[in-house]
Amino acid sequence: MTDNTTPIATPEHTVDGFVREFLRELNFGQGTDLTRASVNDKYLAMARTVRHYLMVRWLATLRRQYQLQAKSVAYLSAEFLLGRQLDNALLAADLDEVVEEGLASLGIDLAELREAEVEPGLGNGGLGRLAACFIDSLATMNVPCIGYGIRYEYGIFRQTFVDGWQVEKPDNWLALGSPWEFPHPESAVTVDFGGHTEQYTDESGTTRSRWVPGWSVLGVPYNYMVPGFENGRVNTLRLWSARATRAFDLEIFNAGDYAQAVRAQTFAENISKVLYPEDSTPQGKELRLQQQYFFVACSLRDFLDQVLPHDFDLRNLPDRIVFQLNDTHPVIAIPELMRILVDERGWEWSEAWAITQKCFAYTCHTLLPEALEVWSVELLGKLLPRHLEIIYRINEDFMAELREAYPDDELRVRRMSIIAEYPERAVRMAYLATVAGSKVNGVAALHSQLLKDKVLHDFSDHYPDKFTNVTNGVTPRRFVRLANPGLSELITSAIGDGWVTDLDKLQELEPLADDADFRAAFRQVKRANKLRLVDVLAERDGITVDPDTMLDVMVKRLHEYKRQTLKLLHVVTLYDQVTSGAVKIEDVTPRTFAFGAKAAPGYRMAKQTIGLINAVGRVVNNDPALQGRLTVAFPANYNVTLAEKLIPAADLSEQISLAGKEASGTGNMKFALNGALTIGTDDGANVEIRELVGDDNFFLFGLLEPEVAEIVDRGYHPTSYYEENRSLRHALDLIASGAFSGGDRATFEPIVSNLLSEDRFLVLADYQAYIDAQERVDEAYADTEAWTRSAVLNVARSGFFSSDRSMRDYIDRIWHTHPVPPER
Ligand code: NBG
């Protein structure tokens, strides 16, 4: 008998094998031939061919998981910022050379096809990219994991500049086909919304509540491969797309209104139409709540009904799964599991609660109070009436528990209520997650400490064992091995290639920091990376960059707390010093200031700041007095693809948030790993980077978190800094004078007056410390050998920031899952 569970064979891992398969895909899959094929045809055929090489592994992984029923992680995340897929797949399957050669033999340039891939921008920034790094690490570490999220039809907007101002364009990433996904419409699940609840009496005479939904939509799963690095494992990422149910439009159609029926379809499909472009500052929009419930309801349904065997006893659920809540976006999964167990399976409340508490863990990603999601009771009750009842019930029990623990402290009990009463009655999702989750973690040591001491202090007091830290990490596959092939080769030639999956091995580079030849080779790699970037920026943006300048980079979302304006004040100060004659241009270190940042479309101050960066850039770049020694480069539409080119070329990494505001940062890690030195505050993961790389190899400046708290408590007066600091005053006056806005004083008035009146993130208080630190940077940079030594030490000492290490920490402290090596 043939083994019908392995019906396919992997194409031959040779140039010929690849070429045959590729041509077959081009002919039979794309329906064209080499003479007629467009670049997109070739790209799609190649991508599908590469997929074939991973398919046997994927099916084997699924089969083995079904047989073993090993405990898995379900990573629930509203965002997965994947970046381009092709190179990662080639790396995982060890195919890059075969494909390059194979294509070349047909007269096709792999580099050209690469550029045809549109990156799936299904995330805003750090949070979504972190999710992508985590699933990469789990696959590489052989840990069973399924990522669950939303297949947004439009990802993060494409940023363009018009006269220096941000204009958003839709990101129609699916327009030319999406070869990395596998749709499964036959496995669609139904998700209900709206309606009301009603009481009824069950067979045993107990009064129970049930949900009578008002409308429903279908969730269609799209599967993506998540290949481990050369280890034979391929995990799954399952993203949900919304469709109208048959009943939905038929009902209306039967009523005779065809146009209305089509509109109904649009209404349903809107749920997965677009990613909300707010980073760290959610807005309480109904559609966003629909998205959140939509994807977790689909995911729970999928896991319980499709992934688990039919006879699975849900009392054992915690042995089989842990649902990791990536921030509060998926927290509605908690009442959803309760509803399934109590309403659909008829469990007792207490039994259901005991199991639910063991199945969830929550990661908090913020310290900004405005970023802690709340949903108004009115909205939640309208959209998910039964879930609201369940949340109330959870809260009732929780309040009773608290009153028993703190009989004389009603104030505290109310403070901790999952339901806020002011300014409107609303559900605090972070509190719900903390009460229900088995663990709560922050994303860097300082952040986790501040969560315990401040944001969730009452809770950490009440549940001391729930709180833990897992410092973020980044995948060395994408951000070193793929993004920086030159450095990868250099490292491998020195210490072998084990570092790709064991990043602590980078420590072995440490002695080479003192080896002049190694340093020279290291500098050569950096220079080659700069030259590559120069080409990319010229081609992509028409920007000219001089590779012989220090590349000083600040790339991240535009947010006041991250303080792009502080960086800008440094640029304006240098400009002022040179143009006023206070400093001779020959004495200025030639620098290119590279910015990359998207602003949330509704965030006015952020958009103003983008306008100001471009305005300062225009003046600085065109001033002959600066002789091209100071340049501002602000390519539009910063994304993962551009990050992979920018980071390896950087000399200086700007991580200058106000202390106590950046939960972790992950860009900071990518720069250090690629040999840039950091100028940074004592914030987020900067703290750990500095501890590891050493004070001599890091430019620390600025107020510490407790100092910030003290100043704010005392009452912060930005004008006093303005009055007392001459160069700060000059810089701000210059902006206010219209020097960067064609003499128009009104254009950037909001930024200046905001800094002078409120300055919520203490830009002015940290200004002088920042300028001083930049002078230390200049001095250090002047000593090329010493600078290179520091850069090498940054690489050698940053192995801790691998997301493989983060995953090990999650496994040890939170998930208690185990690797499952593939069958050999
Ligand atoms: C972001 C933080 C970053 C952190 C990432 C990943 C949100 C809500 N938070 O500091 O601002 O690095 O999460 O943890 O997007």
Which tens digit of pLDDT belongs to each residue from 715-729?
999 999 999 999 999
CB-CB contact of 630 with 593 (8 Å): yes
- Please give the number of the atom of ligand 1 that sits closest to the Cα of 663: 10
CATH superfamily of the domain spanning 549-784: Glycogen Phosphorylase B; (3.40.50.2000)
Cα end-to-end distance, the chain, whole Å: 22
Pocket test residue of 81, 127, 655, 668 for ligand 1, highest count of atoms within 8 A of CB: 127
Tell how far the Cα of 624 is from the centroid of ligand 1, in angstroms: 40
Cα dihedral across residues 38, 155, 287, 285: positive or negative? negative
Q: How far is the CA of 366 from the centre of ligand 1 (A)?
A: 6
Report yes or no for ipTM above 0.95: yes
Q: Would you list the domain boundaries of the chain?
A: 1-68+97-117, 72-84+119-369+438-471, 549-784
Catalytically active residues are 365, 556-557, 562, 666, 670
pLDDT of residue 258: 74
- Can you tell me whether residue 15 is helix, strand or coil? helix
CA distance linking residue 82 with residue 237, whole number of Å: 11
Testing ligand 1's pocket by substitution, the residue of 366, 440, 470, 561 carrying the most ligand atoms inside 8 A of its CB is: 366
Show Cβ contacts of residue 222 under 8 Å, excluding neighbours closer than 6 positions.
151, 181, 182, 183, 184, 238, 239, 240, 241
Q: Pick the residue whose CA is nearest to atom 3 on ligand 1.
A: 665
Ligand 1 surroundings by CB, under 6 angstroms: 125-127, 130, 279-280, 327, 365-366, 371, 443, 472, 662-666, 684
Show the 3-state SS of 641-703. Answer: HHHHHHHHHCCEEEECCCCCCCCCCCHHHHHHHCCCEEEECCCCCHHHHHHHHCHHHEEECCC
Number of the ligand 1 atom closest to the C-alpha atom of 662: 10
> Can you say how many angstroms the Cα of residue 563 is from the centroid of all Cα atoms in its chain?
19
Instruction: State whether residue 220 is helix, strand or coil.
Output: strand
Contact 630, 575 (CB under 8 A): yes
Stretches where the chain sits below pLDDT 70 are: 1-7, 247-256, 824
Per-residue pLDDT at 257: 74
Instruction: Give me 88's structure tokens.
Output: 């990662």
Q: Whose C-alpha lies nearest to ligand 1, atom 7?
A: 280
CATH 3.40.50.2000 for the 72-84+119-369+438-471 domain, yes or no: yes
For residues 181, 183, 187 and 191, what is the CA-based torsion angle, rounded to 10 degrees?
90
Residue among 325, 327, 441, 443 to mutate when testing ligand 1 (max atoms within 8 A of CB): 443
549-784 shares the fold of 72-84+119-369+438-471? yes
Atom of ligand 1 nearest to the CA of 279: 15
For 728, the enclosing helix (H) or strand (E) is: helix 726-736
Torsion of CA 513, 515, 520, 524, to 10 degrees: -50
Distance 388 CA to ligand 1 centre (A): 28
User: In Å, what is the CA distance from 797 to each residue of 19, 685, 790, 801?
Assistant: 42, 14, 10, 9
Torsions phi, psi of 446, nearest 5? -65, -45
The per-residue pLDDT for 6 is: 55
Partners of 234 in beta bridges: 227
Tell me how far the alpha carbon of residue 483 lies from the centroid of ligand 1, in angstroms. Answer: 22
Distance CA 593, CA 203 (A): 72
**Alpha-carbon Rg for the chain in angstroms:** 27
Distance from the CA of 430 to the center of ligand 1, in angstroms?
15
Specify which residues 440 forms β-bridges with: 362, 467
- Cα distances (angstroms) measured from residue 693 to each of 38, 486, 804: 48, 22, 19
Torsion of CA 424, 430, 434, 438, to 10 degrees: 140
- Within the chain, what is the greatest distance between any pair of CA atoms? 90
Which atom of ligand 1 approaches the CA of 125 most closely? 15
CA 663 / ligand 1 centre spacing (Å) = 6
314 touches 304 (CB < 8 A): yes
- Which ligand 1 atom lies nearest to the CA of residue 280? 8
Contact indicator for 667, 687 with CB cutoff of 8 Å: no
Q: Rounded distance, CA 64 to CA 218, Å?
A: 29
Would you say 443 and 429 are in contact if contact means Cβ atoms under 8 Å apart?
no
> H or E stretch including 796?
helix 784-796
